[in-house]
Structures are given as structure tokens and as C-alpha cells.
């Protein structure tokens, strides 16, 4: 049973944890889900890859999320095992034949993404004609629009997308387009530009779209980053709908991941050693802190010291994880109290996304402890110093 505390500080005072601890805030997850479901002019699909913990999924479901962007048969199974009303959409453009068959025949999945003619042939063959399929062609979005660029691996050109739509056309089938502008996209205009490409592909194919999925990438605030609110992205998307003359019958989807779950969890780690301006922690890049390798993603941090106060003066530190690999480092500076020492704990905010799902067991280190906390999400404030410019640490 997951224990509940008023705050991470109360958890530390009670448990004195020796391992990293995820501090889940279901109330924040529910509230964020409610806001997105209410604001988006269509269907919100949660990108399960971002955080597949059952407690997280349950809170999002309680907040109104009923559709899920699944990228593997394991994710399809997990959603079906947990909910009685699952709506899974298999949005990975490349799937094994076995995964397609299981999703289609065992779990009733009918929506599949693709970006290549061979994937189309595979889908049609495995589903024995696929007259009831919804086939969504993934466009390559413009590059350099987001902190984490996702272009290059998936997506096809406007011309090839049009050809795929024409090849996929068949009575009974529903056809659509999708794209992904990149993770942590800070520019609402990126969605508008991608929707223009979708309009061109549709026109070249000479069809009305049954589905348009604008993907994910909606940003959250980090230290030194104040992105536009979700409503600004909705406004740009609405402008795109009008610009391309989207039919009123077209189903409209989005796939937020980070935006729905980042604020719903923080992480408490322990300082195992201080060596000058270097802090050695009990979690790192092979655990839950891999996002700290990305420039532009700087997490809010605060020290928890149950036995006394900490200094108000800040010093820039470099952080190292617990493994023996010298690349297990998070170059700073990260601004923390100058008197931080071994035995202190650090709470890291905005850790609900791409943390527990990316952790490994390398060197035997594995964060596995979860608690519930009742306090508000730990978000960055304007007083927090951005961790820029970074200074690389010698391995």
C-alpha cells in the first residue's frame, strides 16, 4: 500500500529514505487532466510512454482521460488490464506483425499510425483487408521547433503522405494524418505550420480527413523557462483548423504526455558525498534523471534537512549519479544551498515525465519507492536561478 504524507519534507522526516522516492500528487494529475480535456477542441489521448505507472494512469482517468496513445502491445495490454472502457490508439508508425494481430484481434484496436507503404501493406495483410481500420499517416514535422527534436526517425513528406492516403483508401476505412512537433515545444506557431503541411497532403490526396491528430509536445515550465499556457497552443491549433478548412466531421486528437504528468510527481534523492562543488546522489542518468542531460530542461530543486535549517546563500554544483560509469553525470551549475552536505535530501520537481519509465538496474541501482503527498506541485519560481550556462565536467 502506498503511504501518504502531507509533503515530501514530512515523508523524509518520517522515513529517512536511503533510496530515491517518487512523490506522487494524484490531485495535481486529476486537475491537469481536467484542464486539458476541457480546453482541447477534440479528444485528448494520453501518451502512455511518458509514465505508465498504474497510479498515474488512474488519476488521469479520474480526470477525464479515456483515450490512450499506445506505442507497443505491452502498453495496449496495460491499459486494457486496468480500465473497463479503454480506447487504445496504436500510434507507433512501425509495428511487428504479431503486435498488430494482438492489438486488432485480442484488444479491438482499430486506429494505427504508419509512414511507409510497406507498413500499410503489413496492416492490411494482418487484419485481412482491414475494412474497419482507421489509418493515420504520420507527416514529418518541421525541425528545430522543440527542446527535444523528434524528427528524423519517423514521418514522411507531404507528397508521400498523399500517396499513402490514396493507397489506403477503401470503403469502410477511415483515413487521417498526424505529426509530432517535438517534445517540450515552446512555439504555438509550430502546430500551425505542421497543420498547413497536413492541409497540403490532404489536398494532394483529394480526400476529406476522418482524423487529424496534432500529436504531443506541449511544454511545461522548468527553471528559466516560462512557456505559453496550453490555451495559447489551442488558439494556434484552432487557427490552423480554420486555415486549412478542416471539415466539421473530422475527428480531432492530441497526444500530451509530459504536459499531463510532469507536475504530478517530484523526486527525493539523497546526497551521498560532497566533493567541493560536486554532489554525488543516489540516483542519476541511468535512473530517473536522464532528462537532466537535455539543455533547456532544468528542474526546480530544494534541500530537505529535517534536523535543521539550510543556508539562504546558493552555490552552483555539478551532480553525479550512483553508478561507476563516469558518464553518469548532470553537469551544472545547479544552484543549491552553499552548506549542502552528505545526508541531506534534495527534492526535484516536475519529475512525473520520463523518469520511472526510463530507469534501469545498471550497477544494481533501481529507484522503486513511491509515496503520495498532498501538497501542491513543486514548480519553478522566478526567483530560482536558471542552470545556464552549463559548464561541462571532465569525466
Q: What local confidence, expressed as pLDDT, does residue 379 receive?
A: 96
From 219, 235, 261, give the residue that closes a domain.
261
CA 25 to chain CA centroid, Å, is: 17
Helix/strand/coil percentages in the chain, nearest 5: 30, 25, 45
From 261, 294, 319, give the residue that closes a domain.
261
Query: Considering its fold, how many domains does the chain have in total?
Result: 2
Instruction: Count Cβ atoms below 10 Å from residue 16 Cβ, excluding itself.
Output: 11
Selection from 19, 12, 24 nearest residue 365 by Cα: 19
Establish if 378 belongs to a structural domain. Answer: no
Q: How far apart are alpha carbons 235 and 138 in whole angstroms?
A: 23
Residues 139 and 36 in one domain: yes
Establish if 386 belongs to a structural domain. Answer: no
Q: Which three cell numbers stand for residue 333?
A: 551549475
Establish if 387 belongs to a structural domain. Answer: no
User: Any idea which residue has 494512469 for its cell?
Assistant: 57
Instruction: Specify the CATH number for the domain of residue 124.
Output: 3.20.20.10
Residues 201 and 299 in one domain: no
Residues of the chain falling short of pLDDT 70:
144-145, 150, 386-395
Residues 224 and 335 in one domain: no
Establish if 395 belongs to a structural domain. Answer: no
Residues 175 and 222 in one domain: yes
Residues 43 and 172 in one domain: yes
Residues 353 and 230 in one domain: no
Residues 206 and 307 in one domain: no
Instruction: Specify the CATH number for the domain of residue 326.
Output: 2.40.37.10
Residues 71 and 44 in one domain: yes
pLDDT tens profile 343-363: 999 999 999 999 999 999 999
Residues 184 and 47 in one domain: yes
Q: How far apart are alpha carbons 73 and 109 in whole angstroms?
A: 10
Establish if 72 belongs to a structural domain. Answer: yes
Residues 104 and 251 in one domain: yes
φ and ψ at 253, to 5 degrees?
-130, 155
Establish if 382 belongs to a structural domain. Answer: no
Residues 15 and 137 in one domain: no
Q: Give the bridge partners for 330, in sequence order.
A: 319
Encode burial over 164-193: b for 16+ CB neighbours within 10 A, e otherwise.
bbeebeeeebbbbbbbbbbbbbbbbbbbbb
Q: What local confidence, expressed as pLDDT, does residue 388 receive?
A: 54
Establish if 393 belongs to a structural domain. Answer: no
Q: Which domain holds residue 40?
A: 26-261
Establish if 391 belongs to a structural domain. Answer: no
What is the model's pTM? 0.94
Residues 242 and 268 in one domain: no
What's the first-to-final CA gap in the chain, in angstroms? Answer: 40
From 226, 245, 261, give the residue that closes a domain.
261
Amino acid at each position: 500500500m502506498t503511504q501518504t504524507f502531507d509533503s515530501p519534507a514530512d515523508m523524509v522526516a518520517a522515513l529517512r529514505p536511503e533510496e530515491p522516492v517518487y512523490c506522487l500528487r494524484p490531485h495535481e494529475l486529476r486537475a491537469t487532466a481536467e484542464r486539458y480535456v476541457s480546453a482541447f477542441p477534440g479528444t485528448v489521448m494520453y501518451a502512455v510512454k511518458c509514465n505508465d505507472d498504474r497510479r498515474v494512469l488512474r488519476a488521469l482517468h479520474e480526470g477525464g482521460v479515456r483515450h490512450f496513445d499506445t506505442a507497443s502491445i505491452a502498453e495496449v495490454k496495460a491499459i486494457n488490464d486496468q480500465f473497463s472502457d479503454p480506447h487504445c490508439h496504436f500510434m507507433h508508425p512501425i509495428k511487428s506483425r504479431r503486435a498488430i494481430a494482438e492489438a486488432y484481434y485480442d484488444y479491438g484496436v482499430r486506429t494505427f499510425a504508419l509512414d511507409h507503404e510497406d507498413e500499410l501493406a503489413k496492416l492490411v495483410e494482418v487484419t485481412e483487408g482491414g475494412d474497419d481500420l482507421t489509418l493515420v499517416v504520420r507527416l514529418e514535422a518541421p525541425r528545430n521547433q522543440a527542446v527535444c527534436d523528434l524528427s528524423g526517425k519517423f514521418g514522411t513528406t507531404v507528397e508521400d503522405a498523399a500517396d499513402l492516403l490514396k493507397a489506403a483508401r477503401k470503403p469502410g476505412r477511415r483515413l487521417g494524418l498526424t505529426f509530432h512537433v517535438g517534445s517540450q515545444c515552446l512555439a504555438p506557431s509550430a502546430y500551425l505550420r505542421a497543420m498547413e503541411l497536413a492541409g497540403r497532403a490532404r489536398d494532394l490526396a483529394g480526400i476529406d480527413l476522418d482524423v487529424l491528430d496534432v500529436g504531443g509536445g506541449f511544454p511545461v515550465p522548468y527553471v528559466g523557462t516560462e512557456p505559453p499556457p496550453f490555451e495559447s497552443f489551442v488558439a494556434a491549433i484552432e487557427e490552423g483548423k480554420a486555415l486549412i478548412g478542416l471539415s466539421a466531421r473530422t475527428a480531432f486528437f492530441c497526444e500530451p504526455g509530459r504536459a499531463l504528468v510532469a507536475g504530478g510527481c517530484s523526486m527525493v534523492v539523497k546526497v551521498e558525498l560532497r566533493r567541493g562543488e560536486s554532489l554525488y546522489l543516489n540516483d542519476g542518468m541511468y535512473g530517473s534523471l536522464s532528462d537532466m542531460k537535455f539543455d533547456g530542461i532544468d528542474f526546480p530543486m530544494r534541500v530537505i534537512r529535517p534536523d535543521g535549517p539550510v543556508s539562504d546563500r546558493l552555490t552552483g554544483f555539478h551532480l553525479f549519479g550512483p553508478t561507476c560509469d563516469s558518464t553518469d553525470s548532470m553537469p551544472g551549475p545547479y544552484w543549491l544551498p552553499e552548506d549542502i552536505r552528505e545526508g541531506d535530501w534534495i527534492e526535484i520537481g516536475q519529475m512525473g515525465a520520463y523518469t520511472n519509465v526510463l530507469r534501469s538496474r545498471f550497477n544494481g541501482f533501481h529507484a522503486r519507492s513511491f509515496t503520495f503527498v498532498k501538497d501542491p506541485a513543486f514548480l519553478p519560481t522566478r526567483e530560482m536561478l536558471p542552470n545556464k550556462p552549463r559548464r561541462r565536467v571532465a569525466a
